[in-house]
Amino acid sequence: MIFNTSRALLLALASALVANAAIYVTEPSAGSSCHGGQTCSISWLDDGQAPLLSSIGVTRVALYTGELQLVQTLQPVDVSSAHTLTFTPDPKAGPNSGSYYIAFIPASDSAYRGYSPWFSLDNMSGSFASPDPAATSSLPLPSTSGIPTGNETTTAETTVSQSGSSSISATLTETSATSGATEATSSGFSTVRATSSGSISGASSGASSSATSSGTSTRTSASSTASASNAAVSNNVPATGFAATLLAFLGAMLL
C-alpha cells in the first residue's frame, strides 16, 4: 500500500515537472483567487528548459477543472512573443470552487502541455455538470503565416541605355488598379513598370524594351539586339552606313 502511494506521488511529481518544462506560470499563483465577471491576469515565463517558448509559438489557452474538463475557452496567444494575458471569468461557466487551473495547449498539437497551479474563482453561478456552450466555444487562432493578402504585386523596372546595356530589378509595391506606366527621358533611358500580370513594355528614342515574369529583357534597334541576361552588347559589331564608308576610304588611302 505504501509502495503504491509513493509510486503515485512520484508519477504526479514527474508529470508536473514535464508539464512545466518550458513555461513557468507566475499568475494565477497557487491558492490565489479571481472573481467571476472581473478581470483576471495570467502571466508566464520561459524557464530555459526545452522545449523553449520560441519553439512552441501559438498556443490555445483555456480554463479547466478536474482532468481537462473545459470550463471556459480563452484567447489563443503566441507564448514566444507575449508573456501575459487577461480574461474575464464567465460567472455562468462554473461554480465557486478552488479547483480551477489554466492549461496551455500548442496549436501545433505537439505533446507539450503547460498548466498553472490550482486557484479559486468566486462570484460564480454555474455548474461543472452543465457547461455553458457560449463559454466553451472555440476561438480563432492568430495569423502568423505572413502570406501576402493580395494587395501587393511585384514591380519590375527595366533600364535601357543608348550603349545597349540593360538591367532589370524587382521590388514589392502596392497593387495599382491601372496598367503599368512607362516613363522615357530625352537621354535615351526608359523605365518600365509592370503590374502583377508580369508583362511589361515601353519604348524611347527609337528603341523598344520588353520584359516578362521569367526575368528576360530585350532591346531591339535597326542593327542590333541586346539581352538583359548578357548585361551589355559586344563592342565588335561591324560599322554600317557613313562610318563604314569613311573607314573604307581611310583604308584605301593608307594602302
- Domain count along the chain: 2
> What is d(CA 173, CA 208) in angstroms, rounded to the nearest whole number?
25
Parent domain of 199: 152-232
What percent of the chain stands above pLDDT 70?
A: 47
Is pLDDT at 80 greater than 80 in this prediction? Answer: yes
How long is the chain? 255
Are residue 118 and residue 54 in the same domain, yes or no? yes
Residue 112 has what pLDDT? 79
With 0-12 / 13-18 / 19 or more C-beta atoms within 10 angstroms meaning exposed / middle / buried, residue 63 is buried
Is pLDDT at 30 greater than 60 in this prediction? Answer: yes
Q: What is the mean pLDDT of residues 126-143?
A: 89
Res. 78 pLDDT band, cuts 50 70 90? very high
pLDDT in tens, 153-176: 333 333 334 444 444 333 333 333
Are residue 128 and residue 159 in the same domain, yes or no? no
Res. 55 pLDDT band, cuts 50 70 90? confident
Residue 197 has what pLDDT? 35
SS3 per residue for 96-129: CEEEEEEEEEECCCCCCCEECCCEEEECCCCECC
Here the CATH number for the domain that contains residue 126 is 2.60.40.1930
Are residue 160 and residue 217 in the same domain, yes or no? yes
Is pLDDT at 119 greater than 90 in this prediction? Answer: yes
Are residue 121 and residue 18 in the same domain, yes or no? yes
Are residue 157 and residue 127 in the same domain, yes or no? no
Is pLDDT at 128 greater than 70 in this prediction? Answer: yes
Are residue 132 and residue 156 in the same domain, yes or no? no
Is pLDDT at 211 greater than 60 in this prediction? Answer: no
pLDDT in tens, 87-118: 999 999 999 999 999 999 988 867 778 899 99
Are residue 7 and residue 92 in the same domain, yes or no? yes
Cα 189 from chain centroid (whole Å):
38
188 falls within a domain: yes
Eight-class DSSP state of 254: H
Are residue 104 and residue 163 in the same domain, yes or no? no
11 falls within a domain: yes
Element of type H or E holding 219: strand 217-220
